[in-house]
Chain A
């Protein structure tokens, strides 16, 4: 089954809506709690990155019997050096974002830790695509 959501850049109050909805679906699918938690954490971090760093984005989730595929695409500044961005503690978050309690530079490393497969593509000044796959 397929679920789609949109995300608005800068809208921290509503960040986390797609991941909560996905969680509700997964909880009905007889999937172990640990796996669900990994998925929700990874998707949440990816959503927050759109809110914190990009202008707007979409989330497309596909679930089949064996796996979940989550694609978070945004229009935004892009990531110039993905390897650098993946390092724990690296962040370009603005002062405002830090004040909201984000910007520790832990989001992408956390996504890596909580997903089975992770693909990031990015084009500067265009946007970023983060694809995450988890097997049940």
Chain B
């Protein structure tokens, strides 16, 4: 997976070099070096767990400059319906749409429309006898990356149909062209709930190029809209929601997809739950399931790291909202006013290839030698998994050692023993620890960060 671009990073001024993110990372992609967390982009699947647990909000997500929208005549904001759910209930959908216009967009599109086209398209894949079962949704890009890297044999089960943001992007383009716009005049911007979607939009898997011109983080957009939103009566924007359906609105919530597909389906949210399920699936221990929906975040996208609201309140607002909208099948093809057939063709993804992650390289003889070494090293480590060595657990430290990225003396307990046995000096031991955690680390400081529940 060499050359993964970076979509999130750490502010060294804010990172206090604790072990929260390192411990929470489901792929063991984080180490603490010189008192700062470091992400290994090859292992990272962009699930956002590290952002969630960081007590000092040291992680940040890259994004495009909002000013860049000005270079287009038609400025389209594409956003998942989930965004509406995070606004306080007192703001109407029209007030939110109006706010987005004031921020500078000319056209506002929720991405889950016209949803029936996507539903039909996925059903076609499921009906195909050749499709390996259970078929797995590609909706959550963190899950796709997890499968490519850690469960490569299951890439075959991924459903090769694009996500709603592509659907809406094609749909918006078609509609604007029909209104007389030139393709170059149209700028498409996607409001993202998470890092995974940024990666999926910026460097898509199974697509030749990205369809959007820029990315805006949903929390940033939320703030911009809140600055200008009106609580008075605003123009009616309901014509922009003609194709929005009840199914579309709850698509990004847990069971939003699985309830439509197969006679037996499973919905999983939370990256650690997904890992457990994928382990079983890989062993062929899951029987007779047709369709699996899997999302990295707890409560699916309502729990996305770039959302402002409380995830449970967001779900509640969306569920209530969905009840007011028609069923996807009742929105007629004529009303959609696009060539359904053509749109469907555009939704087909190229095969998604496995990208297995080999910790010890690809030379089997060498790998076996290294793994045996790890086994032996683990025998000497205390198994406390404390993280004081800068690795998430003793086993990971042993692997790092074998890969020449760590030393036996990084384990503070072994150091203590060596000191006791007179093998190293106390001075040497303390410099070792300072190298890991920084020289100022052990000075008294009453403003030290990292209090209990800090960051909630």
Contact = CB atoms under 8 A, between A and B. Distances in A.
A1 to B, nearest CB: 5
Interface stretch (A32-40, A53-61, A79-87): A32-40
Interface residues of A, number: 22
Given A33-B153, A36-B153, A65-B368, A28 B359 contact: yes
Interface stretch (A5-13, A19-27, A116-124): A19-27
Contact of B358 (A30, A33, A40): A30
B371 interface: yes
A33 B364 contact: no
B229 to A, nearest CB: 50
Main secondary structure on B side of the interface with A: helix
Interface in B308-366: 354, 356, 358-360, 362, 364-365
A63 interface: yes
A106 to B, nearest CB: 12
B371 A25 contact: yes
A64 B368 CA distance: 8
A13 to B, nearest CB: 13
B132 interface: no
A1 B374 CA distance: 11
A40 B283 contact: yes
Interface string B96-121: 00000000000000000000000000
Contacts of B356: 27
Contacts of A33: 152-153, 354
Q: Interface size bucket, B side?
A: 20 to 34
B285 interface: yes
A63 B152 contact: no
Interface in B138-186: 152-153
A37 B284 contact: yes
A30 B153 contact: no
Contacts of B359: 28
Nearest to B283: A40
Given A28-B359, A37-B282, A65 B371 contact: no
Given A36-B153, A37-B153, A29 B283 contact: no
A1 B364 contact: no
A1 B372 contact: yes
Interface of B: 152-153, 279, 282-285, 354, 356, 358-360, 362, 364-365, 367-368, 371-372, 375
User: 6 smallest A-B Cβ distances: which pairs?
Assistant: A33-B153, A1-B372, A30-B362, A40-B283, A29-B364, A30-B364
28 contacts: A1-B368, A1-B371, A1-B372, A16-B283, A16-B285, A23-B282, A27-B356, A28-B358, A28-B367, A28-B371, A29-B367, A29-B368, A30-B358, A30-B362, A30-B367, A31-B364, A33-B152, A33-B153, A37-B153, A37-B282, A37-B284, A40-B283, A40-B284, A44-B283, A44-B285, A63-B368, A64-B368, A65-B368
